[in-house]
Amino acid sequence: MVKNGISDLLNQAIETATRELGHLNIIIAGRTGVGKSTLINAIFQANLAETGQGRPVTQDTREINKEGIPLTIFDTRGLEMSAFAETSDQLRAFVRERCADRDSNRHIHVAWICIQEDGRRVEDAEIALHSLLAEQVPVLAVITKARADGGFRQEVQRLLPQARNVLRVRAIGEELDDGHTLSPFGLEELVFATSEIIPEGKRRALAAAQKASLQYKKTQARKVVAGASAAAVAAAATPIPFSDAALLVPVQIGMLAGITTVFGFDVSKSALSTLISSALGVTGAMLAGRSLAAGLLKLFPGAGSIAGATIAASTASAVTAALGEAYITVLAQIYQENPSRKLDMKYVAEKLKEKMRRKSSPEP
Ligand SMILES: Nc1nc2c(ncn2[C@@H]2O[C@H](COP(=O)(O)OP(=O)(O)O)[C@@H](O)[C@H]2O)c(=O)[nH]1
Ligand SMILES: [Mg+2]
């Protein structure tokens, strides 16, 4: 696996991480002015809703994308009663075509129907729209600009029975005349509720594209670590001398790439290479096979040496899990400091080394 050198290894890690990230497609529907664009910008990275007009896919629906974010939003405006019959036929045909695609990255995975709390009114068009969408995709009802429920949530639940859940959100804070401020709320809950009803294979994309919940990013990143730890056990079980550590390397590089993408950071070959070489202190020609494996193992005193060649399955798994956890902690910290998509990998590597050193030295 590593015989073609580090270059192939990095390419493969990035390719796999990108494939496993997938792509999420959400329909966000509701009348003009209910707060769809504001909600999109509050939940997702990069002020998506402000990136131009988007490409129209039906008379009332625009497609919103941004390079590097594994998400497409279909913003369905209008739905005003007069034109409903015509636009709903277009929308139904569009969703049907997408959901029949062989590529699951083109399916529509979830729909949010947004209804403003102030209005205290659910239109017939919204009820019809919810039934239409629920034929083909899981639907969440989202009550926007929430201030005072007064039984409206229950009313929405009754009128939109096919909605999997009804959530109240306030996308932006506001200041009242009496000096009180209302803070945003419900955004993290909307991310988790969405996660519950989309396919497992699209959850990494959701984690990467959203910015409302750091916890959700960590949760999904831990699944990457769990998968890598299991793969490490398999690598350690391979009965070829000198192979265990070398087989661990692709597993761990793959894991680092996977975690990076789940956090929503860009991952490039050079970035991954910088991370591995500076964090592990191996460079250039050394950065292959056994040398790299030795570098990884050096981070864990007592894990065995490369000369020993065989690593106990439990050690392989623990070493991989510890590296993954440390990397998650570092990325979470960096994300909190500066939630952009660009990483300074030298800095990340320094932090990772620090973290691993602390972990592997005995508590005073
Ligand atoms: N107070 C408050 N205003 C909001 C909220 N969400 C949206 N708005 C305001 O409602 C108006 C319409 O929002 P917009 O996102 O453009 O609605 P869209 O037409 O559905 O995309 C804007 O002035 C927003 O600032 C919210 O949670 N609270
Ligand atoms: Mg809008």
By residue count, the chain amounts to 364
Q: Report percent pLDDT > 70 for the chain.
A: 83
- Tell me: pLDDT of 152 over 90: yes
Task: Write down the pLDDT at residue 135.
Answer: 95
Rounded distance, CA 265 to CA 250, Å?
A: 20
Helices 244-262 and 5-21: crossing angle in degrees, nearest 10, is: 40
**What is residue 287's predicted lDDT score, i.e. its pLDDT?**
43
* pLDDT at 309 exceeding the cut of 60: no
pLDDT reported for residue 246: 64
| Per-residue pLDDT reduced to its tens digit, 353-362 | 888 777 655 5
Could you tell me the pTM of the whole model?
0.91
- Asked whether the predicted pLDDT for residue 288 surpasses 60, the reply is no
Q: Out of 104-118, 207-221, 330-344, which region has the weakest mean confidence (pLDDT)?
A: 330-344
Which whole-number Å values give the CA distances from 56 to 26, 79, 90, 250, 364, in the listed order? 15, 15, 12, 42, 62
Alpha helices in the chain (DSSP H): 5-21, 36-43, 84-99, 124-134, 152-159, 187-197, 203-209, 214-236, 244-262, 269-280, 289-298, 313-337, 345-360
**pLDDT higher at 172 or 315:** 172
**Residue with CA at minimum distance from ligand 1 atom 25:** 38
Is pLDDT at 321 greater than 60 in this prediction? yes
pLDDT (0 to 100) of residue 295: 55
Q: What is the mean pLDDT of residues 318-323?
A: 87
Residue 62 Cα to ligand 2 middle (Å): 10
Strand partners, 182: 174
Residue-by-residue DSSP string for 284-343 = GGGSSHHHHHHHHHHTSTTS--TTT----HHHHHHHHHHHHHHHHHHHHHHHHH--SS--
- Atom 12 of ligand 1, nearest CA residue: 33
Please name which ligand lies nearest the alpha carbon of 172: 1
- Other CB atoms within a 10 A radius of the CB of residue 315 amount to 20
Residues flanking ion ligand 2, Cβ below 5 Å: 36-37
- Pick the atom of ligand 1 nearest to 30's CA: 20
pLDDT at 162 over 90: yes
Measured in angstroms, how far is the CA atom of residue 242 from the centroid of ligand 2?
Answer: 59
Mean pLDDT score of the chain: 86
Residues with C-beta less than 6 Å from any ligand 1 atom = 30, 32-38, 144-145, 170-172, 174
The answer to whether the CB of 41 falls within 8 A of the CB of 48 is yes
Q: Which atom of ligand 1 is nearest to the CA of 169?
A: 27
pLDDT band at 317 (very low <50, low <70, confident <90, very high): confident
CA 113 / ligand 1 centre spacing (Å): 15
Least distant ligand from the CA of 34: 1
For residue 113, report the distance from its CA to the centre of ligand 2, in Å.
13
Domains of the chain, start order: 21-209 (3.40.50.300), 213-360 (no CATH)
Report the pLDDT value the prediction gives residue 195, as an integer from 0 to 100: 98
Mutation test of ligand 1: which of 28, 34, 38, 61 has the most ligand atoms closer than 8 Å to its C-beta?
Answer: 38
C-alpha–C-alpha distance, residues 73 and 26, integer Å: 5
